[in-house]
């Protein structure tokens, strides 16, 4: 164990720009920073770095680390950022060889042993990090053993992984301090697409009102556990009031996994926003569960300022709903989509194509669901079969003869060749591109976007991005045809 004490802490969200993804405030890091300021008031200095928002290439990131000279460097990341994180960790080790380097977030929670194969990384935090990081710093600074810290993994002197088990989720979310919003510039996010890809007003902030999800969808992470935990509506609205009054926020993106699972809780938040006259626009970009909605909540959300809701449908076939364990009531979802649209809220939806064993007919059923509902924005994602999730078992069951190499360490969402194409020979990206073109190149969709979407720079950027994406798709299809092929010569 290093003899130094941790006094300077640099929390880094690594990753260069992926045009396919929205960029928003680093919620995990902001929560950790708030905890550190409360627990170690006057004892630690904190620096927050978000590589893409701070516009840092790796040489500039190295200089930022060198300039701050931290005792502890903490990286928080999704799997899509894993490649850049390992690059950044190597740079951090070179620049600050004595610093403690720690990694957390969804990717580290699932692949902690793979992360620890990187010699630049000392520790991994699994699951929620607030209590684990607090206990780590306390014991590290006191020179006490670290082996018993739940939620912490590291390699011991024999190069074996020491892991004391998962830390139970924090039950009293109200005990956590408000996120350290004052440590970032919310206005800086205007130049990027948000998680919603368009916004009504600026600046915006992300808000969590719950943690955890009881559903067991085979494609989803489990960083917050399978039990829903609620912040009190009063605490949620207190944070909203602070953001509006002190940070000038004009739009909220509520990013819970299950905001509407507890209808009374969701409705109470709406009621408090309405009662207190908070002037804010609200969007739900993370995908609400449509069969847990009712018209009363939709109306309350509208009255509170909600202008768009995204519903996570994923697949429109009952067989696949059961297979992926989402078990969405498609009839109820259909009704709620119509109700949401009738109440004047823009409907967006997530769809996924290419589940293991999915047929082309089932994909077409999902696409038809999108086309036959009053949805104005649809995402057609290609399924990524990550290791160590339920999808892995489904893939092996569906394609037992396929040589699956889970050891490559490539967790990139946008790899050129999808797992489904490897297994079936069907070009899944082409399926997704054609689904998007069928959806967006319709007069009804184009008219709805032009008349109902907010009229501002983000809409213009969305138009440009959409037109560019469609043009790239068309050019790719033309190139695939080749000089001597006709359109009828390709199966897909």
pLDDT tops 50 at residue 489 = no
Strands 72-76, 45-50: pairing is unpaired
Mean pLDDT of 402-420: 63
| Number of residues in the chain | 492
Give yes or no for a contact between 207 and 239, defined as CB atoms under 8 angstroms apart: yes
Identify the band that residue 1 occupies on the pLDDT scale cut at 50, 70 and 90.
Answer: very low
Closest CA to 267 of 244, 240, 227, 233: 233
Q: CATH 3.80.30.20 occupies which residues in the chain? A: 194-480
- The answer to whether the bond into 151 is cis (omega within 30° of 0) is no
Please tell me the distance from the alpha carbon of residue 258 to that of residue 128, in angstroms, as a whole number. Answer: 17
pLDDT, tens digit, 9 for 90 and up, residues 166-225: 999 999 999 999 999 999 999 999 988 899 989 999 999 999 999 999 999 999 877 899
Secondary structure (3-state) at 89: helix
Give yes or no for a contact between 355 and 320, defined as CB atoms under 8 angstroms apart: yes
Q: How far is residue 472 from each of residues 4, 89, 281, measured CA to CA in Å?
A: 53, 34, 33
Q: Domain 194-480: which topology?
A: pyruvate-formate lyase- activating enzyme (3.80.30)
Give yes or no for a contact between 126 and 151, defined as CB atoms under 8 angstroms apart: yes
Please tell me the distance from the alpha carbon of residue 302 to that of residue 123, in angstroms, as a whole number. Answer: 45
The number of helix segments (H) and strand segments (E) in the chain equals 17, 15
Q: How many CA atoms lie within 13 A of 21 on its CB side?
A: 14
pLDDT, tens digit, 9 for 90 and up, residues 340-391: 999 999 999 999 999 999 999 999 999 999 999 999 999 999 998 888 889 9
Instruction: Work out the angle at residue 99's Cα, subtended by the Cα atoms of residues 97 and 102, and round it to the nearest 5 degrees.
Output: 120
Please tell me the distance from the alpha carbon of residue 219 to that of residue 481, in angstroms, as a whole number. Answer: 33
Find how far residue 320's CA is from the centre of its chain: 23
Q: How many CB atoms lie within 10 A of CB 491?
A: 8
pLDDT, tens digit, 9 for 90 and up, residues 222-268: 789 999 999 999 999 999 999 999 999 999 999 999 999 999 999 99
CATH architecture assigned to 8-163:
3-Layer(aba) Sandwich (3.40)
21 Cβ partners below 8 Å, 6+ apart? 80, 193, 413
Q: What is the largest CA-CA distance in the chain?
A: 73
Q: CATH 3.40.50.280 occupies which residues in the chain? A: 8-163
Please tell me the distance from the alpha carbon of residue 139 to that of residue 145, in angstroms, as a whole number. Answer: 7
Please tell me the distance from the alpha carbon of residue 458 to that of residue 449, in angstroms, as a whole number. Answer: 12
Give yes or no for a contact between 58 and 194, defined as CB atoms under 8 angstroms apart: no
Please tell me the distance from the alpha carbon of residue 297 to that of residue 270, in angstroms, as a whole number. Answer: 8
Q: What is the pTM of this model?
A: 0.93
Please tell me the distance from the alpha carbon of residue 288 to that of residue 363, in angstroms, as a whole number. Answer: 22
């Amino acid at each position: 164990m290093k003899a130094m004490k941790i006094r300077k802490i640099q929390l880094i969200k690594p990753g260069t720009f992926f045009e396919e993804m929205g960029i928003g405030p680093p919620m995990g890091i902001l929560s950790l920073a708030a905890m550190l300021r409360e627990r170690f008031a006057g004892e630690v200095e904190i620096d927050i770095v978000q590589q893409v928002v701070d516009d840092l290439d790796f040489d500039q990131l190295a200089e930022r680390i060198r300039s701050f000279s931290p005792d502890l460097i903490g990286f928080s990341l999704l799997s899509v950022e894993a490649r850049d994180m390992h690059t950044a960790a190597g740079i951090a080790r070179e620049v600050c060889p004595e610093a403690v380097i720690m990694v957390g977030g969804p990717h580290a929670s699932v692949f902690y042993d793979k992360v620890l194969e990187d010699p630049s990384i000392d520790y991994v935090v699994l699951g929620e990090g607030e209590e684990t990081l607090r206990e780590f710093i306390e014991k590290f600074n006191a020179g006490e053993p670290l082996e018993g810290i739940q939620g912490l993994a590291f390699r011991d002197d024999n190069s074996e992984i020491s892991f004391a088990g998962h830390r139970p989720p924090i039950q009293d979310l109200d005990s956590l301090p408000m996120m350290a919003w004052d440590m970032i510039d919310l206005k800086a996010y205007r130049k990027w697409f948000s998680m919603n890809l368009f916004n009504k007003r600026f600046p915006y902030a992300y808000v969590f009102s719950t943690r955890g999800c009881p559903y067991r969808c085979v494609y989803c992470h489990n960083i917050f556990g399978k039990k829903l935990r609620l912040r009190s509506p009063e605490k949620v609205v207190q944070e909203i009031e602070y953001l509006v009054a002190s940070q000038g926020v004009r739009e909220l993106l509520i990013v819970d996994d299950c905001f509407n699972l507890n209808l009374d809780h969701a409705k109470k938040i709406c009621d408090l926003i309405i009662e207190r006259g908070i002037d804010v626009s609200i969007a739900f970009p993370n995908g609400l569960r449509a069969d847990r909605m009712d018209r009363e909540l939709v109306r309350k959300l509208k009255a509170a300022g909600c202008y768009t809701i995204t519903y996570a449908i994923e697949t429109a076939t009952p067989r696949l709903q059961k297979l992926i364990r989402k078990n969405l009531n498609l009839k109820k979802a259909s009704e709620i989509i119509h109700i949401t649209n009738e109440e004047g809220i823009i409907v967006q939806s997530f769809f996924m194509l290419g589940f293991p064993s999915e047929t082309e007919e089932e994909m077409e059923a999902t696409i038809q669901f999108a086309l036959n509902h009053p949805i104005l924005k649809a995402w057609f994602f290609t399924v990524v079969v990550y290791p160590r999730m339920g999808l892995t078992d489904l893939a092996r069951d569906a394609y037992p003869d396929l040589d699956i190499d889970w050891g490559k360490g490539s967790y990139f969402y946008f790899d050129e060749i999808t797992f489904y194409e490897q297994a079936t020979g069907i070009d899944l990206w082409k399926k997704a591109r054609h689904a998007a073109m069928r959806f967006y190149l319709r007069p009804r969709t184009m008219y709805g976007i032009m008349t109902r979407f907010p009229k501002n720079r983000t809409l213009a950027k969305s138009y440009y991005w959409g037109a560019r994406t469609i043009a790239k798709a068309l050019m790719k299809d033309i190139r695939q045809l080749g000089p001597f092929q006709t359109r009828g010569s390709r199966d897909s």
